[in-house]
Amino acid sequence: MCAIKSLRLLSCFLLAVSCIGLFCFSAGALRAEEPGPWYLISETELRSIEQYRETSEAEKRNWLSQVQGLKQDSANLNNQLAEARAQNRKLETSFNEYEADQLIQTSLKNGEIANLKAEAAAEKQGKIKAEGTAALRLVIIIVLTSVIVLYIAYKVCRFLRLI
């Protein structure tokens, strides 16, 4: 008896669950089949909407073509920039080599100038020494000449018996 009651209860329970499931499924199916709200628009409004859609698509194509053109311009400008940078690096390297060469040339010229200054100083010193030697010789010659003249004058005076 207890088994029959439990069997009846189980069948009632399954029947209830089946009914609830069927109700939910049918309500969902009905909802899916329900049409959305209907709007009425005139033919002129429909034409203006289609015209707007066509113009917006044309504008979109125009914008896309402009974007494509700008991408190409950007790529060209990037290439030109890369070439300019490479040329700038080459020019900078060339300038640095030229500057180093000029520094070497200046250094050599400074060395030559220092040598020439040393030679000029040596020549000037030699000239000063030569002038001093010439002046000393002149004084010696004048003194010797004076002594000789005095000696001759003394002899002449003695010959003439003036002294």
User: How many whole angstroms separate alpha carbon 32 and alpha carbon 23?
Assistant: 14
pTM (2 d.p.):
0.40
| Secondary structure letter of residue 160 according to DSSP | T
Cα-based angle 32, 35, 41 (whole degrees, multiple of 5): 150
Domain assignment present for residue 72? The answer is: yes
Q: What is the mean pLDDT of residues 28-54?
A: 76
DSSP 37-50: ------HHHHHHHH
Q: Are 141 and 150 in contact (CB under 8 A)?
A: no
Domain assignment present for residue 151? The answer is: no
Q: What is the span of the domain harbouring residue 94?
A: 45-128
Domain assignment present for residue 21? The answer is: no
User: How many whole angstroms separate alpha carbon 126 and alpha carbon 123?
Assistant: 5
Q: How many domains does the chain have?
A: 1
The string of pLDDT tens digits covering residues 55-88 is: 999 999 999 999 999 999 999 999 999 999 999 9
